Amino acid sequence: MPARVLIVAMSVDAVTDHAALAELAEVVGASVAYLQVGDPSLTKALDALAAEGATTVRLVRLPAHGPAPARSWLRRVAAHWVREHPGVEVEVVASAVTGREAPLESPAWEDLPGFRHHVLVCRGPRCSAKGSVETAQALSAALDSRGLGDDDVLVTQTGCLFPCNHAPVVAVHPDDAWYGPVHPADVDRLVEDHLIAGGRLEDLARPRSARAFGGTS
């Protein structure tokens, strides 16, 4: 059986282009997988190919156009799967994944970060379409310029957070503060007034509704 090709999207916002990626994969006779956020995950896609009888899978990394982990994570995650499926050969850029690559676990990742604030930046379809990638980039730059690392402010990019009509949405915990729309021009004020000074951006705040948000349509 010829090698099966799996296009792996690396960036957190790649799932917003799923239809285009699926069309590309169909044209070239490949499948699509996501290293993060999207479905199917890389391991799930490899499971499906193995179930179809594939003996060789060639991974093709899709260039990242947004926040993405280091390239080494593609091989690292693939190696994790290979160790559990020794009968399938997996290649990255024509180089075999041996299973001897670094594991997913590390003593350095055992403890919870000691952050003061956990900031969630929505990267769902609507927020991504309305510029959350630029908001996330501006937030990272603003924190870096002030010397604030993960032990001060831990930033996590997520799937849909709701409420989508206020995209791009940013939530700050443990303060239970929800803001939107948060554009790059708002980020310095968010960092200074809330994350450093402990106040709130009342003009951007979204109060919690008495009813639950419903659906994503």
Q: Give the model confidence (pLDDT) of 76-113 as tens digits.
A: 999 999 999 999 999 998 899 999 999 999 998 899 88
User: DSSP string spanning the chain?
Assistant: -PPEEEEEE-STTGGGGHHHHHHHHHHHT-EEEESSSSSSBHHHHHHHHHHTT-SEEEEEEEPPSS----THHHHHHHHHHHHH-TTSEEEETTEE--S-SPPS--GGGSSPP--SEEEEEE-SHHHHHTTHHHHHHHHHHHHHHTT--TTTEEEEEES--S-GGGPSPEEEETTTEEE-S--HHHHHHIIIIIIIT----TTTB-PPPSS------
Q: At what angle do helices 42-51 and 72-84 cross, to 10 degrees?
A: 40
Tens digits of residue pLDDT in 47-70: 999 999 999 999 999 977 666 788
* Best CA proximity match to 61, nearest among 27, 19, 95, 86: 95
Predicted local confidence at residue 128, as pLDDT: 85
CA distance 184 to 126: 16
- Say how far apart CA 190 and CA 188 lie, in whole Å: 5
| Confidence band for 211, pLDDT divided at 50, 70 and 90 | low
Mean pLDDT of 15-28: 92
Neighbours of 50 (CB within 10 A): 17
Q: What's the confidence (pLDDT) of residue 66? A: 66
User: CA 17: distance to chain centroid?
Assistant: 13
pLDDT value of position 213: 47
Cis geometry, peptide bond prior to residue 69 (ω within 30 degrees of 0): no
